[in-house]
Amino acid sequence: MAGPLELSDLKPPSEDEVFFKSYVPPARDAIHMPIHVFYMVLASIVIVMTLYAIIGHLIKDLLHDLADWLFGEQPEEVRINFLEARDKFMADWCPETSPELEELARAEQIKVVMESSNHNPAIWVISDGSETRPPHYLSDDSEKAPPLQAHTLREFEQHLNDLKKENFSLKLRIYFLEERIQQKYENNSDDVYRTNIELKVEVESLKQELQEKQQLLNKALTTAESLTNNNEAELQRRCEARQQEIDHMQQVLQTKIQLLQEEAQLARSEAERMASLAESCSQHPPVPMEPITKEMSVAKSSQPPDMLPDNRDSRRIEELTEAVRCKEMLIRELTEERSSLRERVTEMEEQLQELSTSLLQKEQDAEFYQEELGRERLRVQQEMQRALRQMAQPVFWEMVRSLVLDNYSSAATSQLRAAVLRERRYLYRVCCL
């Protein structure tokens, strides 16, 4: 017979057991970068370097064009060779040096450069004489430098005298060269001063023009800001005026509708009165005056002169005739007025019909929007109920699972029943929202 069910048998496995059972080691190449990523990075670097070179070249050309536009056409860039510049310097400042000495110095320099880097370069001193001096090494290391020969005091004095003469000759050469340069540029000093003055004037004019441009720019900015503020104020004012105009038009239309309704009512009453008057006139038609006037004229002609009525009767007849004519004119005018009133009533009825139609359309639109709002509200409530159900179901089943795993006693069963009832009540309330 099997023993009672223990709680340890119903407990789920722990998280560590689940992790170690479901653990899958990563692939060996998971930590390696894909080859296409490397190619993309390499291509990006190449593209960036190419763009940097192109943009730098374009910026350089742009700066050259800007300098040409601001300061005039500039001379082309001339690349200077160091050896050619040195030869030109030696030819200008040392005219007494011979080509043989220059060749020897150049050969010695090339030889020193070709030798090992341990040896320091030698310095040749080119003098006025035909003989060259041995090179003096800058290094103090006696092993690398050639051995020095022993000289007597007379040789040192002779060497010192030679150096003094060379120094004196170099000073004379410098003096004559300075005098020569001064004579060369003395004639062009006025041009240099004039050019300097023109350049200063141009710089001042450019500064003044820059200040004027800056002032114009500031004025333009202030004008633009003021125009923007004025436009905003004008737009606000126009909006307020348009709103007031719309309100006024609505009031005018409402008063006009009321007046039209009142006029229509008055026209209906006037039409009814005129209709009753016309019916009464139709029941008692007026006697035409032409036969009466003819008969009276015939009677007057047939009667003797002594039988004619007196002036009072004739005046009375004329007054009656005039009164009848006035009545006929009044009846004609009333008939025309009745027709015009009927037309006006028809127009007013058409206007009322149009207004009623537009009002009905507005009411239908309002009902449609209310229905749409109700449907949207119902849809939102349904979505909320569905979301609440989805949120409540996992909580409920987690509670049931915990109660089953904790205890099977009657207290747990009653708690489970209470939880089920609470869940049902909660779902019922949610559904009734």
Residues 334-342, mean pLDDT to the nearest whole number:
76
Q: Does the CA dihedral 12-16-21-23 come out positive or negative?
A: positive
Q: How confident is the model at residue 301 (pLDDT cuts 50, 70, 90)?
A: low
Q: What is the DSSP letter of 137?
A: E
In the block, tokens 């905003």 appear at 232
Say which residue, 45 or 339, is predicted with more confidence.
45
Confidence of residue 115 (pLDDT cuts 50, 70, 90): low
Q: E-strand spans in 73-125?
A: 122-123
What is d(CA 150, CA 157) in angstroms, rounded to the nearest whole number? 14
Is the separation of the CB atoms in 131 and 160 below 8 Å?
Answer: no
Give the three-class secondary structure for 339.
helix
* Structure-model confidence comparison of residues 305 and 413, the more confident one: 413
Question: Residue 136: helix, strand or coil by DSSP?
Answer: strand
What the block records as the tokens of 80 is 């200077």
> What pLDDT score does 320 carry?
72
Q: What value does the mean pLDDT take over residues 377-391?
A: 73
Q: Kindly tell me the sign of the dihedral angle through the C-alpha atoms of 297, 299, 302, 306.
A: negative
CA distance 293 to 319: 13
What percent of the chain clears pLDDT 90, i.e. is strictly above it? Answer: 2
Q: Look at residue 45 and tell me whether its pLDDT is greater than 90.
A: yes
Q: Which tokens belong to 29?
A: 């190449």
User: Where does the pLDDT of residue 283 fall: very low under 50, low under 70, confident under 90, or very high at 90 and above?
Assistant: low
**In the chain, where are the structural domains located?**
34-72, 81-140
Of 17, 23, 164, 176, whose CA–CA distance to 95 is shortest?
176
Residue 84 has pLDDT above 60, yes or no: yes
Average pLDDT, the chain: 68
Cα(274)–Cα(341) distance, rounded to whole angstroms?
A: 10
Question: What is the predicted pLDDT for the residue at 6?
Answer: 47
Q: Where are the alpha helices (DSSP H) in 284-409?
A: 289-302, 311-406
Q: Which helix (H) or strand (E) holds 77?
A: none
Cα 191 to Cα 66: distance, rounded to the nearest angstrom: 27
Q: How far apart are CA 380 and CA 383, in angstroms?
A: 5
Q: How far apart are CA 418 and CA 403, in angstroms?
A: 12
Residues in the chain: 433
Q: Which of 7, 14, 5 is nearest to 405 (CA)?
A: 7
Q: How confident is the model at residue 86 (pLDDT cuts 50, 70, 90)?
A: low
Report the chain's terminal Cα–Cα distance, integer Å.
54
pTM (two decimals): 0.22
Element (H, E) at 107: helix 99-114
Q: How far apart are CA 65 and CA 429, in angstroms?
A: 81
Q: What is the pLDDT of residues 54-64, one digit of tens each?
A: 998 888 888 87
Residue with the larger pLDDT of the pair 367 and 129: 367
**Rounded distance between C-alpha atoms, residue 346 and residue 341, angstroms:** 8
For residue 141, is pLDDT > 70? no
What single-letter amino acid sits at 272? Answer: E
